[in-house]
A and B are shown apart, each in its own frame.
Chain A
Amino acid sequence: MQALFVVLVVTLLVSWAVRLTGDPSLMLAQGAGSVTEQDLANIRAHLGLNRPFSEQYIGFVNGLLHGDFGKSFIGATPVVILIRDALPATLSLTCCALLLSLILSIPLGIQAAVNKGGWSDQLIRIFSLIGLSFPNFWLAIMLVLLFAIVIPVFPPSGLDGPLSIVLPTVTMGIILTATNVRLVRTSMLETLSAQYIMVARSKGLRESVVLYKHALRNCAIPLITFIGLQFGSLIGGIVVVEKVFNWPGMGTLAFDAIAARDYPVLQATVTVLALLIVTVNFLVDIAYGFVDPRVRTR
């Protein structure tokens, strides 16, 4: 219920906001040479911009429910097609970055928790703080400078073969890892002081079994919650990184739409991303049940 409400608020805010960006008919008419007031009025009437806002909004929501986002003002491509092309690019980037950060942050966080106060803990802590302080776009630029210009291994931008996903993934992955490591460390510390860990150890289980089978499962809940909570800012970060790498995803689509005053496209991208965030948070609630049987019985 709350999720539906959020989506409704988002669509309302966005469609109200995009209409403040300025008159697209002027932008569209610019290429045509001399423009009369009548031409502009014709363009507005053609795009449906002369109708009152409430009518335009209801039309938008109605279309949304039927899976129809309208047509782009530029070139009249159906917005659904634009989104269909851009969404997989953004999703693959998001998934790769999340995966990379989990692969890195779980062992590192456990290592830090087990050696609490030791040199590896200090080192991991400092690196995670440095990672947290990196502006994501600067990290992106530095990676391009190092691995595309100084040592030309990866393509600097665009989607061109499987290698081109490496740099954007690493950028987002490093920044996510920095936050996740701290989380794994704290929740691992909490778990390791529990009595069942002592029991598992005194049974003579190998340390790796204790850590990865007994302890890790119990820190999964805070980790999953946090991934859900930070999904919004993750998407925000990806939007920025996409722009730096010229990655053909939702972020690039949204920025181009802002520049061109292309309401339907901007409206649709923001709504789809908001839906995505709400869905992920919903899935997170369901995932609790899989990870922790106690949640199921409740």
Chain B
Amino acid sequence: MTCKNKFVNTPTKTESSVDMPVKRGRRAPLELVLGLGLTAVLFSLVAISGWLFPDEGMGMDLSARLLAPFHSWRHVLGTDPLGRDVLARVLVGGQVSLLVGFTSVIGASVLGVIVGVIAGYYRGYWETFLMRCADVQLALPFILIAITFISILGGGLFNIIFFMIISQWVQYARLVRGLTLTLREREFVLAVKAIGLGDLLIIWRHLLPHVKSPIIVLMTLNIANNILLESSLTFLGLGVDPMIPSWGGMLADGRNYLQSAWWVSVFPGLAIMLCVLGLNLLGDWLRDKSDPTTEH
């Protein structure tokens, strides 16, 4: 959390200096406020959804089918064709999306960072082999292969997360390798080597802290990306179990009732959009902060 405070303070400091930084300082807080606000509100609503709606959006009430939104307090966002509350399902459905988004990104980054550090620090055959794998993987049309594989192995939470990890570790590996290549030649690495520190300690204490911030930026943007990916797979019927409420699944259901009940498909889509928008804003702001070259 200390790093957050550091970031919050920077724009006010730069604001007083000349010309360009003023513009930068003016823009950054807007992104930060919007991004943090959106994600904080959505994440906390999703987090307490189990407590707000004890039936987890599964309770059917066939006498209250397809109620329009904003008409009663019982069903603020209306009900779906089975009389289930849309608000409850949107919030509970968020749990799946966030779970997939976060676990897949954590898994991919851990794998990618390990591979990238090994390739960049030890070089040699390892590097050639791992980076060839990465090249081939980057050139493959991955969505198509994902669709093929998931249609075979069946959707399910675990398979989707697994597949996202397999398809995304490459990005982290390449990023970390590139950074490690230059870092390992720096004097401070030579210095700690001279002291006689072991490789693992050098990597952990002296290399990883330097690659931390670009990794965090990539992770933030990828969480957003993966939430989108999960919802499109679920929408196509290749994702999580249709019985579990999820944003993509709700959209697929609601599509058939577009003429009579627009709210069933509008609200889950809106939830995806706001969630991804918040994360993108945060990611953008983080990137601008950590990489001054993108700003000019």
Contact = CB atoms under 8 A, between A and B. Distances in A.
B262 A135 contact: no
B33 interface: no
22 contacts: A2-B135, A6-B140, A9-B136, A9-B140, A130-B273, A133-B274, A135-B228, A135-B235, A136-B232, A137-B251, A138-B251, A141-B258, A145-B258, A145-B266, A149-B258, A193-B296, A233-B143, A235-B144, A239-B147, A255-B236, A258-B148, A270-B144
A154 B151 CA distance: 32
A5 to B, nearest CB: 7
Contacts of B141: 10, 232, 235-236, 270, 273-274, 277
A262 to B, nearest CB: 12
Contacts of A190: 296
A266 B251 contact: no
A135 B135 contact: no
A171 to B, nearest CB: 13
Contacts of A255: 236
B152 interface: yes
Interface of B: 23-24, 26-27, 30, 135-136, 139-145, 147-149, 151-153, 224, 228, 231-232, 235-236, 251, 255, 258-259, 262, 265-266, 269, 272-274, 276-277, 280-281, 284, 294, 296
A40 interface: no
Contacts of A258: 147-148, 151
A189 interface: yes
A62 interface: no
Nearest to A269: B144
Nearest to B262: A145
Nearest to B238: A258
Contacts of B228: 133, 135
Given A135-B276, A141-B269, A232-B140, 4 more contacts: A17-B148, A133-B277, A232-B142, A239-B147
A142 interface: yes
Given A135-B273, A141-B265, A129 B140 contact: no
A183 B127 CA distance: 31
A242 to B, nearest CB: 11
Contacts of A193: 296
Q: For B23, B143, B231, B262, which residue has the most chain A Cβ atoms within 10 angstroms?
A: B143
Contacts of B142: 232, 236
Contacts of B26: 117
B165 to A, nearest CB: 17
B26 to A, nearest CB: 7
Nearest to B294: A186
B258 A266 contact: no
A166 B149 CA distance: 32
Contacts of A151: none
Interface string A224-235: 000000001101
Contact of A270 (B148, B153, B259, B265): B148
A287 B273 CA distance: 35
Contacts of A122: 27, 30
B148 A117 contact: no
A116 interface: yes
> 3 tightest A-B contacts by CB?
A236-B143, A117-B23, A138-B269
A181 interface: no
Contacts of B135: 2
A149 B255 CA distance: 12
B224 A133 contact: yes
A219 to B, nearest CB: 13
Contact of B149 (A17, A133, A189): A17
Q: For B26, B30, B145, which residue has the most chain A Cβ atoms within 10 angstroms?
A: B145
A93 interface: no
A268 interface: no
A140 B187 CA distance: 54
A14 B139 contact: no
A273 B136 contact: no
Nearest to B151: A258
Interface string A90-111: 0000000000000000000000
Given A6-B136, A17-B152, A137-B251, A236 B144 contact: yes
Contacts of B280: 129, 132-133
